[in-house]
Every structure is written in C-alpha cells, then in structure tokens.
Structure 1
Amino acid sequence: MIREINFDGLVGPSHNYAGLSPGNLAASANAGLASRPRDAALEGIAKMRANLALGLAQGILLPHRRPNRGWIESLSTTLATAEPWMRASALSASAMWAANAATVSPAADTANGLCHLTVANLMTMPHRSHEWPETLAQLRIAFAGEGFAVHGPVPTPFGDEGAANHMRLAPTHNAPGVEIFVHGVGGGGFPVRQHAEAGRAVARAHGLDPDRTLHVAQSEIAIAAGAFHNDVVAVADGLTVFAHEQAFADRDGFYAALRSLLPEVAIVEVPAAAVSLKDAVSSYLFNAQLVTLPEGDQALILPAEAQENPNVWTWLQTMIAGNGPIRRLELVDVRQSMRNGGGPACLRLRVVCDPATVDPRFMIDGAKLDMIAELVRLYWPEQISIADLDDPALWARAETARAALFESLGLRELI
C-alpha cells in the first residue's frame, strides 16, 4: 500500500548550540547557551509518537558518527589541536534535521516508475558539508529495494539542501504530481543555500516531466528575514500550498503557473499585514508538517511557539474557523530543536512508497520508540555547554551512545 512516511531524524547525543549557521537567526541568537541533548531526543521521540497516534506512517533516520574524526583528519589536524570552529563542526548534530537529508520524488512522478532520492550535498556550511556520505549510507540501506533509486549528491559548487527547498502537489500521494524546486538568488547579506542549477540537476536525475516541474525563486526579503530554507515560509501537501505572502520572488507568476497545471490547487496564503515575516520566522509557523490524515482531513503539526505568538495564533484560529482545506491544528514541543533553528518540518523527510518495501530497521512503532527512549535516557548527556566540546570525555560518550543505539537496532554495518 502506497503511503506517505515521515522519516524523523533522531537528535544525536552531541546536540549543542555552537551557532555555526549564519542566516539561521535562532541558531545565532542562542549561540553559546547550554543545550540539553537528552531532552531534545525525547522531544523528537514524543513527536514521532504523536504522528503514530494520528494514524501516520513513521520512520527514523539516525545520528551520525560524532565527533567526525575522519573529517577532522582530512583537514590535517586532530580533535585536540583543531581550531574551535572545526571541533564544533565535527561535533555538530545537525543531521537531526532530516528535511535536509535528500530530495524525494515518488514513483508516480518519475519516468522509470521508481521512487528517487538524491542525497543533499549541504556544501554551504562547513558543519553540514560532511553529512552526506553517512546520510547516503543510511538511505542506501533503508531504500535498497528494487522500487528505489538512491543518487549521490549534486556536485559542488551547486548548493543543494534537500527537501527543505522542495514541494510536491498531487490529488493523492500515489497519483502523478507537480514538483516544485525553490532556489535562492540573493540573501540580503546571508548565504544562499539552494542553487537553481542543483534543483534542475535533481529533476533530471529523477526523470521528472519538465512540463510538470516548476523552478521558483525564493524572495530575497524572506531569506534576509531568516528564511534560510523555503520550508520556513512555505509548505505543501496534497492539493494545498500554505505560504507567506512574501515567500516567493514572483508570487503571481508562480501561482499562475501552478494553477495552469493544477486548477484545483488551494493556495492558503498568510498576509504580511496579519503575520509579519519576523513573526513567521520566530514562531516557525510554516515549518509545520502539513499532513493528510487517514480520514482525509488536512492538519498542521505546529511547534508550541506558534501558540505563544499572538499574531500567529489569532490568524490560525481564524483559518480553521473558515471553510479552507486545513481543518486541524496539532501542537508539539520541540523547543531544543527550535533553539537551533529547526521546527517540526525540519525534523522529517517525507517519502511516498509502500512501507513494506523499506528496510524494517528504519520503520518505527511504539515498542521501538520505547526501546530508543530508554537508550536515550541511559546514554545521552543531560547538558552540553560550549566548553564541553573540548572535553574528550564528551567525545567518547557520544561515540558510545551512537554505537549502543545502532547495535540495538541491528545496524552494525553502520557503526
């Protein structure tokens, strides 16, 4: 049975606030604070439980090897002698944001009828640039079946940050759809992370129909306001686009092109007069999971911060009181992720396929979440300060924690 599966990234034991990501306003604002890796991972597990309770299919992607000693050694240094930013980069837990793991095209959209996944190169930020080899290794195990094609990254210098800059619209999950690749042009002083040529390369690799593929520019003012990925200002599901009025550089042109391909599309646009870009970015209103529930209604899975912003919450209450396609709001607490600039949608990668074709070690149920939660309580540090990143005891603890997790999941080949 073809379904949409949300693969959430489990927060790793080295989760910290080193402030390595210019343009990510939350990460910059909280740089230097003490993080709580155990709480962060348990928040993510609670979010996965909530998705299961809603009747959604749930998978998991796993923490990377941290510290990444191989990456440090490739820079001709060691963890003990590396510059602080290098050491922090080697310890980054940013692979938890699975929306940046890959771009996914379901089989219904592709020329050869396979579900295609292209791992993101994440080349713009040093701390993320070394993620793709391990992400690729996980994807090639999870999606090793004959119904999948897993591709290596788009080559540099074309930056690709995965599904966070990709949207898909279709009447049902397993029907042919329209795929939308969103890229940056200018960043108002911040780096542009998604290049137009990367999106075009992925579309070609996936065998997408050019007549049903759109390449759209994100607005510079959105990037400058902290929308470093499109999913901070827009999200799509089914036949619904939920977006801020200032999300796209050529809003009218994009919507006209979309309506010509999908006349039945519903565009739920939040006006800037009601919710400013500042409010949208600080609350991560659009970094919600827009999902279709088993009964057919659409729901927004929102960070708790959305309720705490009066402008955002007032607008949401007005929306669901109307007759639009989004009928339900679900709040989740992912505060530890939010403080590093990642909301509910950042934590997940959507894959449309038959769950039975996925390696079962990457699929999740309540019992498996219980087991993972017990390991988190046992091995994940309660707190990490910036000074702790220099401590060999932390490095060893992170390595031990990851090994215990992979051993328990039967993924010894990835330890």
Structure 2
Amino acid sequence: MKSYEVNFDGLVGPTHNYGGLSYGNVASQSNSQQSSNPKEAALQGLQKMKALMDMGFVQGVLAPQERPDVAALRNLGFSGSDAQVIQQAAQQAMPLLVASCSASSMWVANAATVSPSADTADGRVHFTAANLNCKYHRSIEHPTTSRVLGAMFADPQHFAHHAALPAVAQFGDEGAANHTRFCREYGEAGVEFFAFGRSAFDTRYPAPQKYPARQTLEASQAVARLHGLKDDGVVYGQQNPAVIDAGVFHNDVIAVGNGEVLFYHEDAFLNTEQMLGELQAKLGKLGGNFQSVCVPRALVSVEDAVRSYLFNSQLLTRADGSMLLIVPEECRANERVWHYLQGLTASGVLIREVKVFDLKQSMQNGGGPACLRLRVALNETELAAVNPGVIMTAPLYDTLTQWVHKHYRDSLRESDLADPQLLLECRTALDELTQILKLGAVYPFQIN
C-alpha cells in the first residue's frame, strides 16, 4: 500500500501581529511592536502550500484559532460584553490583550505530536495536542487545536486523539517542534526521535541558564506511552543547553530530519555520537540505513543558523528518492549559510536541491518553513479517511486566497488589538472558513 508524508500547514490568522511574546525566540523579541501585515502573511503561507502541491507533494491546511480569545480574558477576571472585555483588558492589562490576540497557532509544528499507524500498538495514527505551557499565549491553544484536529481526522477506526499533558512545568510539551521520525518508507515501522531540553526530575541532565528549556524528557516519555510506541522504536536526545541559551528555543531551529536522514548543526545536541549510534542501530534493525549530515560550526555558526533559520526548513523526499530542502529567503541573504548550501547541493550526496521561499511575515515573528507545518504520515486508506476539505487543491487555493483578500487587514499594530471590530472581523472570517474546510463547529463562538 502506498504511503505519504502529508504536510498540514497552519493558515495564518487575521490577528497576525508582532507582540514579542516569546522569551527565548530571538526573532520574536527583536521585532516586537512593529507593524505587521496579516494579509501578506497569510498569502505567503498559502503560496508555499500551493508550490509544494504543484511539486507533487500531498499538502493540507490547518485552520487558525479565534483571536482575540475572549474566554481566556474572562477567565482572568474581565467581564461584560465581548467588546467591554476587550476594552477593559486594553485599559488595565494590555500585555494580556496582546497575548489573547497572538496568531502563534500558525506554527502548527507545535500543535501536536503525531505517531503514524506503523509505529503504534493499536495500528492507528495517534495525535497528542501540545500543552505549550511554557508560554501563556500558547498554552490557551490546545482546546481548539484538539477540536480542529478531531474534525480533520475524525474516523476512530484510523485515528486516536489524546488530550494535552498536564499543564505544569514538569510536563512541558512543545509538540512536533521537538519530534521527528526516521523510516525507510513512510508506511513502514520507524524510529521516533524526541529531543528534550531538560529533565523535570533527574538532575543528571544539565539545563540552560538564560532561556527556558521548553520540552521535558518526562513529557516526551509520556507521549510515547500514550501512543503505544515500542522501546526499540524510540530514541531520546538532549538539546545542547548552550544553544538554547543562544536562541534555539525548539529543536527544529537547529536540526531537521526526514526519511533516513538527519540534518543538524554540530552543536545541536549533547552526547551526539551516542545518540546517532542509537538511531542508526534501531533504524538498522528495521531495515533502514540511518544517515546524518552535520553542519560544522566552522562553516555556519549557531548565531548564523538562528538568524537564517537554516534548520527550520522542510526536508522533503521527492518521487525519485532525492531530497529537497525548503528554506526561507533569509538563508540566501546570509552569505555564509548560502555558501554552505551551494556546496551541499553541489556534492549531490543526499540533499540535491534547495528552494527558497519568502516567508518574511512569519520569520519576523520567529517561525520559518518547518514551524508552519505539521507532518502526518498516512497510508492510502488513512489519507482517504481524512476530511477532504482540508487537503489542498488548486480550487481550494483560489478560494482561500479570495477569502484572505476579503477578510484580512493589510496592517496591524498593537493599538488595533483594542478595537472590538477586529474580533467581529475574525469571527466572520473563521465562520466562513469552517464552511470552506468543512470542519463544522470548532470555535468557541460557534459552540457556545
């Protein structure tokens, strides 16, 4: 049976703004309070989706969240009508209003961890929504994320959904941004790799000193248990605390994997050789040939990697078996990174081609190509069971492009978030979107 790795990209929400909310994310903090362009951001994301579809990849769409999150503000003590709640928050606690308007759900690599049916004990595709409890503005996402994923992957015969882990520091879970999977073929059993920043209970693991380590070992282990993964199909590796302190808030900022290949920076992990050996041994037992591409610090510094988002890229396997790397325009603008990539593709060893995309609106807020997509390995039967409304087609691309032009603003500043009209615009847009994507009622305003 044929199998696919489907990329479900997050559709940028109507309140896309630069709130600078993500401590530890250098780009997010450095562009705080600048004027954003929600329309341009959404169109840039859609163009990437369409381009990958045109290249022959199966591409999907994951809907954004309702913002501002009025219910979250009510839980914090603001009251009255929706408009009054927004006005009170703007007057009394503007940072809370900004947090409730975050469009960070566009980075769906953080939406959930996904294990394909070939790896799980019950032979179903498993989803665990990430609690994202390290950041308040992201911790409020998982209830809606769970409903959206449930509407996309609804057939219980093929799909299993788990609630987010307990929202405490010991089980900080950032989803697929710290998870990847290695396999010979997408439909065959593989080895799932969980990268963690710290242990909540074991003091043998060092922790970063400046920025928080968002993913815990205990959260990764819990997800593996929930998904019914075998011990010989799982590898845990610790992120280098020093690179977390350099702005590598997620593992997908310093490494990316696909198929049998891991593309990573020399300073990405602790105990790298031991970790690579375990990946090679476990994948080898499954008939795979694990291979790694290490980028030396002498050629590309951690600072250059963070600025360019070289590793926050999409590593894709084409129909002929060759690999393609999707990178942001910032990689071409960085002389050292671009020189390295030219040499990498010229060698023709593993990664044959690099394609560049303009994702400036997302990049300025701290997310690149890899942040924008959630990977789901599916066989033909499972793909047929996915809600067809969320699979990208040429007509859907045209419809979503028109929808963005109709509903999105060209400019958004922090002061605009206090306008109650923005909430009405957002709800009108999302109500129409659920009909376009055939999701049903997934947003609080549609349910309550």
The normalised TM-score by structure 1 is: 0.98
1:34 — aligned with what? 35
2:437 and 2:149 map into 1 onto residues whose CA distance is 15
2:370 and 2:208 map into 1 onto residues whose CA distance is 22
Deviations 1:147-196 (A, max 9, x none): 11111111121110100000110011111111111010223311111111
1:171 and 1:412 map into 2 onto residues whose CA distance is 37
Say whether residues 1:212 and 2:223 are aligned partners: no
Contact kept? 1:67, 1:399, Cα under 8 Å: no
Deviations 1:228-265 (A, max 9, x none): 00000001001000000000011121112112223521
1:400 — aligned with what? 428
Question: Which range is displaced more, 401-410 or 153-162?
Answer: 401-410
**Which one-letter code corresponds to 2:134 in the other structure?**
T
Deviations 1:29-50 (A, max 9, x none): 0001000000000000000011
2:222 — aligned with what? 201
Contact kept? 1:241, 1:267, Cα under 8 Å: yes
| Aligned mate of 2:173, from 160, 166, 181 | 160
Contact kept? 2:389, 2:436, Cα under 8 Å: no
SS, match of residue 215 in structure 1: strand
Aligned residue runs from structure 1 range 325-340, under 5 A? 325-340=350-365
Aligned residue runs from structure 1 range 144-155, under 5 A? 144-145=154-155, 146-155=157-166
Deviations 1:300-359 (A, max 9, x none): 011111111011010111111114211111111111000010000100000011321101
Deviations 1:39-74 (A, max 9, x none): 000000000011101110011110111111111111
SS, match of residue 104 in structure 1: strand
SS, match of residue 260 in structure 1: helix
**Which one-letter code corresponds to 2:187 in the other structure?**
N
Closer, same or farther: CA 188–205 of 1 in aligned 2, 3 Å:
same
2:202 — aligned with what? none
Say whether residues 1:122 and 2:147 are aligned partners: no
1:376 — aligned with what? 404
Question: Which range is displaced more, 183-192 or 207-216?
Answer: 183-192
2:440 and 2:164 map into 1 onto residues whose CA distance is 25
* Cα shift at 1:76: 1.2
1:386 and 1:53 map into 2 onto residues whose CA distance is 37
1:133 — aligned with what? 143
1:187 and 1:341 map into 2 onto residues whose CA distance is 20
The normalised TM-score by structure 2 is: 0.91
**Which one-letter code corresponds to 2:148 in the other structure?**
Q
* Cα shift at 1:386: 1.3
Contact kept? 2:50, 2:392, Cα under 8 Å: no
* Cα shift at 1:117: 0.8
SS, match of residue 107 in structure 1: coil
Contact kept? 2:14, 2:426, Cα under 8 Å: yes
1:225 and 1:88 map into 2 onto residues whose CA distance is 26
| Aligned mate of 2:183, from 156, 170, 192 | 170
2:151 and 2:413 map into 1 onto residues whose CA distance is 34
SS, match of residue 261 in structure 1: helix
* Cα shift at 1:81: 1.4
2:113 — aligned with what? 103
**Which one-letter code corresponds to 2:184 in the other structure?**
P
Question: What runs of 5+ residues in structure 2 fail to find an aligned partner?
Answer: 79-84, 199-206
1:274 — aligned with what? 299
Contact kept? 2:194, 2:235, Cα under 8 Å: yes
SS, match of residue 441 in structure 2: helix
1:399 and 1:309 map into 2 onto residues whose CA distance is 39
Contact kept? 2:148, 2:439, Cα under 8 Å: no
1:94 and 1:262 map into 2 onto residues whose CA distance is 34
Contact kept? 1:178, 1:213, Cα under 8 Å: yes
